[in-house]
Amino acid sequence: MIHAGVYYAPDSLKARFCKEGAAATLAFCREHDLPWQQCGKLLVASDAQELQRMHALFERCGQNGIAAELLDEAALHTREPDIVGRGAIYVAATGMTDYAAITRKLLELFRAAGGELRTDTEVCGIVERGDSVYVRTTDSEFRGRYLLACAGAMSDRIAHMQICRSIFASCRFAANIFG
């Protein structure tokens, strides 16, 4: 999904980043001839309580600069006869892409720029110094100008490790790297 940013508080970083990220994703797909479709999505209210929330979301769309169309029950049925609901919001800016294709293209560009990919590698320590990032793994140490860590479910640990190691760098690790 290429999210429009409907749910985020107006003027929040999440709302801004979502909108900018969607635009950047579409531009990247166009530039590299990757598949994408801006098919939109329906946010359907199935009962009175959800209908009330839907109206608040519709207002939030306007506050976030996201074009949206409010549909009553009849308009929803006309647009999508197989969907039952009290009403809906149609958000045209929502889209789809093939994120695996995007990832492959990013990796291709990364390698072409001299980047090195290491997979199935456990990071034990990270130290930033000057314009370099030093990384220790279970089987090696390496240095680069930038570190792009794609750690999935472990990304919070990598981020925490980087922050903690950068601020409170392990003397032994720093000594091993920096001599």
Domain boundary among 78, 99, 120: 99
Whether 88 contacts 6, CB under 8 Å: no
Q: What's the confidence (pLDDT) of residue 178?
A: 41
What CATH number should be reported for the domain holding residue 21?
Answer: 3.30.9.10
- pTM of the complete model: 0.73
**Is residue 1, in this structure, part of any structural domain at all?**
no
- Domain co-membership, 89 together with 130: no
CA distances from 157 to 21, 120, 135, 161, 166 (A): 24, 15, 14, 6, 14
Q: Is the pLDDT of residue 177 over 90?
A: no
Q: Assign 144 to helix, strand or coil.
A: strand
The pLDDT value recorded for residue 22 is 94
